[in-house]
Structure 1
Amino acid sequence: MELSSLLVPNAVRVVGQFTSKKRLFQELGEIAAQAYGMQSALVVDGLQERETLGPTGVGHGIALPHARLEDLTRIAGIFIRLERPLDYDSVDRQPVDLVFGLLAPKDSGVDHLKALALVSRTMRDQGVVSKLRANTDPAKLHAILTEARAPQAA
């Protein structure tokens, strides 16, 4: 599995700021609707429902909100780089500026977990993260993410 199979170029955005996690999820839903033809409200509901199980802010300014949704046929990614970090209730209590949302079919099983692991490994790569934070062009951000070679799990 490659990030290039999960993330289309028009699902990568740079946004100034959000006032809340809910507003961020609404933006993720809007991008999912535009880039993948998903129903925005279902995406938002799925992300909020998953977030009630525990925050998806993994630390170091990175959040990986994700959800399994009915009626999806493939796993899809959305990436947002925030110009002003958002308080996200992350595990390290640091605000978030890099958000990689992952949406998967309800019955995706192990493929969802593999995709989440791939995104997580990629977003733990300090070289990738530094490049993401140094760029504001969505096309360049997409290239950085899809050309990254995440270390394989041991």
Structure 2
Amino acid sequence: MKLEQLLSPDCTVCAVPGTSKKGVLQQISRIAANAFKTAKEKELLNALIAREKLSSTGIGKGIAIPHGRLLDSQQIIAVLITTETPVSFDAIDDQPVDIFFALFVPEDHCHQHLQTLAAIAAFLGDKDNARRLRKCTNSKQLFELATNQLD
């Protein structure tokens, strides 16, 4: 599955306010729940928190890829946000994070989940892509940049 098939304009938000790791995860869960009425915000948040307890999904250089598995879903949900200011996220390089690409996958999609995470990490790991994402001033611009770059 191509990444642009996962991301929707409703789940791409520029300059989200956030001051804490949990606050950002709550924002991501709220955005996903509002866009996909089949998912409940609390379930989404719990999936992200459960994964973060294993180890931080902050991959360094101001980027995090929070992800979680959903038990009663066959739908993959992706959320891309940037924050107004970088947030402490326990990243591997101890740097604050301002780009978050969250992914929620059905429990039984493990192989596809790993491939999608790898594609997201490769896209975000490119310093030019990250720089362009940070320069976006509105959600539409962020969505267009991401969907034109992701494949």
Give the alignment's TM-score, normalised by structure 2. Answer: 0.94
Paired position in structure 2 for 1:2:
2
Given that 1:17 and 1:86 are in contact with CA atoms closer than 8 Å, whether structure 2 keeps it comes out as no
1:73 partner letter:
Q
Unpaired stretches in structure 2, ≥5 consecutive residues: none
SS of alignment partner, residue 52 of structure 1: helix
Question: Segments of 4+ in structure 1 off by > 3 A?
Answer: none
Look up the match of 1:46. 47
Give yes or no for contact 1:70–1:105 (8 Å, CA) kept in 2: yes
Displacement of 1:16:
4.5
* Distance in 1 separating the partners of 2:7 and 2:58: 20
Which residue does the alignment assign to 1:64?
A: 65
Paired-residue identity, %: 35
Could you tell me how far 1:136 is from its partner in structure 2?
1.7
Q: Secondary structure at the match of 1:72?
A: coil
Length, aligned pairs only: 150
Between the aligned partners of 1:60 and 1:99, the Cα distance in structure 2 is: 12
Query: Partner of 1:93: helix, strand, or coil?
Result: coil
- Residue of structure 1 equivalent to 2:126: 125
Q: Which residues of structure 1 form unaligned runs of 5+?
A: none
Q: Deviation per CA, 1:38-71, whole angstroms, max 9, x where unpaired?
A: 1100000010000000000000000000001112
The 8 Å contact of residues 12 and 80 in structure 1, kept in 2 or not, is answered as yes
Contact (CA 8 Å) 2:77, 2:103: kept in 1 or not? yes
Q: 1:5-154 counterparts in 2 under 5 A?
A: 5-37=5-37, 38-149=39-150
CA shift for structure 1 position 17: 3.0
Write the distance in 2 (CA, Å) between the matches of 1:14 and 1:134.
10
d(CA) in 1 for partners of 2:150, 2:22: 31
Higher relative contact order (CA 8 A, sep 6+): 2
Distance 2:7 2:80 in 1: 8
**Is the CA contact 2:16–2:81 (under 8 Å) kept in the aligned structure 1?**
no
- Alignment partners' CA distance in 1, 2:48 and 2:117: 14
Q: Which moved more, 1:126-135 or 1:16-25?
A: 16-25
Return the offset for 1:109. Answer: 1.7
What's the Cα RMSD here?
1.2
Residues 8-34 of structure 1, C-alpha deviations (whole Å, 9 max, x = no match): 111011235312111111111111111
TM-score by length of 1: 0.93
Q: Cα gap change, 1:6/1:70 in structure 2, threshold over 3 Å: closer, same or farther?
A: same
Deviation of 1:146 after TM superposition, in Å, equals 1.0
